[in-house]
Amino acid sequence: MKTKFDYLSYLHQYEILIASSGVLMIVIVLTFNMLLPNLNHANQIYAQGQDLKKKVELLTQKDSSLTSLNYQFYKDVFLKSSQILPENKDYVSLIGTFDLLEKQSGITIVRTDFQLGVVSTSSATLQRAAGTAAFMIPISVEVMGNLEGLRKFLDLVSNYNGRLMTFDEVTVNNKQSDTLDVVLSGRAFFYILPGTLGSIDSPLPKLEKSQDAILQKINLLSLPQDTVTVDLDKNSIGKKNLFQ
């Protein structure tokens, strides 16, 4: 009986301290179990909210760009540009380009020499053009003609008539006549297209003014022969119904 009395008196004496400690303990437990997760969640909403807003803005911009994109135009330009910068060495198109240049410029191509190197896909033999992802094929062309013909030839080369070529060395032999014997040394190129398109929220690349001018120039070229599709509906294909 005496012990119970002592216990109660003890409780009574320290009731404020015990109650306060109890409240404090509950606050600590609730803080860890409820407040901190809530604050964490709120912080996450705040931080991600900003990112999400930016992402929505970016995706909206990309979506509207893609919706207004002239698919057929870019598809045609893509096919046409493959004549200028193909995905492989494509020596057939190089020869074709020289034939075309000869025909259009009026000069005579005496000799062409291009180092195709190893025909297999040995990447060790490939050399990239400085500052670009394109690969180089060293070429040398010997042409004969007058200055006007040579001017036409070089103009045609720089106006994307056939394969893209650049010349950085020239030797002209002049044999007292109007005809010049010119050896041009330079490079033709091929470009392996990137295998991936990037993430869905990556912005669409934009063209600069000079690049847009090239795009319009390429668009004026005619489509490669092998990509011209035949409209099957216009061809007579016999009776549609066998019983008529």
Partner 1 sequence: MAKHSVNLVIKKENELPVVKKLRLLLPIFSAVSLFIFVILFLSSIIYINKNNSEYNSLRLQIDNLEKRISANKNAEGIYILTVSRVKTIDQLSNGNKKFISLLSEILKLQSSGVLISQTNIDKKNSVTVSVTASSAASLDEFATKLLNADAAKLFSDIKTSGIVRDKNAGYLLSVSFKPSTSLLE
Beta bridge partners of 186: 139, 167
- Give residues with Cβ within 8 angstroms of 235, minimum separation 6: none
| Interface characters, 177-196, with partner 1 (x: CB under 8 A) | ------------x-x-xx--
The tokens 């009026």 sit on which residue?
106
- The angle at the Cα of 79, spanning 75 to 90, to the nearest 5 degrees, equals 155
Q: Which stretch binds partner 1 (CB under 8 A): 42-50, 91-99, 112-120, 231-239?
A: 42-50
Residues 11, 39, 118, 223: which binds partner 1 (CB under 8 A)? 39
| Residue 229 within binding range of partner 1, rule CB under 8 A | no
First-to-last alpha carbon distance for the chain, in angstroms, is 117
Residue 70 CA, distance from chain mean position: 17
Q: Which stretch binds partner 1 (CB under 8 A): 72-80, 117-125, 137-145, 220-228?
A: 72-80
Minimum Å gap between C-beta 239 and partner 1 is 36
Q: Which stretch binds partner 1 (CB under 8 A): 35-43, 94-102, 112-120, 227-235?
A: 35-43
Q: Phi and psi for 142 in degrees, rounded to 5?
A: -110, 120
Of the two residues 48 and 108, which places its CB atom closer to partner 1 in the complex? 48
| Residue 166 within binding range of partner 1, rule CB under 8 A | yes
If we measure between CA atoms, which residue out of 212, 152, 209, 215 comes closest to residue 182? Answer: 152
Q: Report the half-sphere exposure of 8 (CA within 13 A, side-chain side).
A: 5
| Interface characters, 87-126, with partner 1 (x: CB under 8 A) | ----------------------------------------
- Count of residues that interact with partner 1, criterion CB under 8 A: 84
| Residue 63 within binding range of partner 1, rule CB under 8 A | yes
If we measure between CA atoms, which residue out of 112, 142, 129, 131 comes closest to residue 189? Answer: 129
| Residue 11 within binding range of partner 1, rule CB under 8 A | no
